[in-house]
Amino acid sequence: MFKTGNDDDNRAAVREAAELRLVGLAVHGRRNDVDKVLKGMSLHN
């Protein structure tokens, strides 16, 4: 999975996977807004 730079192939591989484990989370937005939402959360568990 994710061996190519082709996004369509990567998305197809994800759809076909029987089990996926969450390995990360991306947050996009204005820095102040993101800081407010994430305030108090630990970076690693």
Determine the average pLDDT of the residues in 19-37.
87
pLDDT in tens, 7-17: 898 888 888 88
* pLDDT value for 18: 79
Nearest alpha-carbon partner for 11 in 21, 1, 20, 19: 1
Q: Please compute the mean of the pLDDT values over residues 17-35 and round it to a whole number.
A: 86
| The residue count for the chain | 45
Q: Do residues 4 and 10 lie in contact, with contact meaning Cβ atoms separated by under 8 Å?
A: yes
Is 29 strand, coil or helix? coil
Output the pLDDT for position 28: 93
Residue 30 pLDDT greater than 90, yes or no:
yes
